[in-house]
Amino acid sequence: MAKILIIDDDETIHLIGRAYLGKAGYEVQTAFDGPEGLEKAAAFNPDLVLLDINMPKMSGFDVAKKLRENAGTKHIPIFIMTSLKQDSNIQRGYGLGIDDYITKPTNMAHLKLKIDKFLEKHKRP
């Protein structure tokens, strides 16, 4: 069972993410902010991180940077999921080595398909 970590300060995203992705057969864990997300990423070793940008304590960009700097988490694919649509943010995200930049509002059915395809292509050995 593939594992997904959702890092977002909005509990509604956690609930909806858990329900949809859980029903699709993924094991989902959630974190409310950057430090908690980094801790969980190291312990849970997810196959994919869904990451928000605007969060308390640490921005999503900083979380992505830290994930990439840490030897134990640098291999984890990151999808940024945010309502920030400006090109500068998209460029900054890809500059940090994220794998996809998804803007809200997101269609959960489409997101699930995207995750399915991505994880199928990047299956861990």
What per-residue string of b and e applies to 73-105 under the rule 16 or more CB within 10 Å gives b?
beebbbbbbbebeeeebbebbeebebebbeeee
106 binds another protein (CB under 8 A): yes
Distance CA 21, CA 108 (A): 9
Compute CA distances 94 → 31, 36, 78, 82, whole Å: 22, 23, 10, 14
**Which parts of 32-71 interact with another protein (CB under 8 A)?**
none
16 binds another protein (CB under 8 A): yes
Copy the structure tokens of residue 29: 């864990």
Q: How far is the CB of 35 from another protein (least distance, A)?
A: 21
12 binds another protein (CB under 8 A): yes
Compute CA distances 99 → 56, 87, 102, whole Å: 23, 16, 10
95 binds another protein (CB under 8 A): no
29 binds another protein (CB under 8 A): no
10 binds another protein (CB under 8 A): yes
Q: How far is the CB of 108 from another protein (least distance, A)?
A: 6
- Give the position of tokens 């309502």: 83
Q: How far is the CB of 97 from another protein (least distance, A)?
A: 22
**Which of the stretches 12-20, 56-64, 67-75, 115-123 binds another protein when contact is defined by CB under 8 A?**
12-20
Binding site for another protein (CB under 8 A): 10-13, 15-16, 19-20, 83, 85-87, 104-110
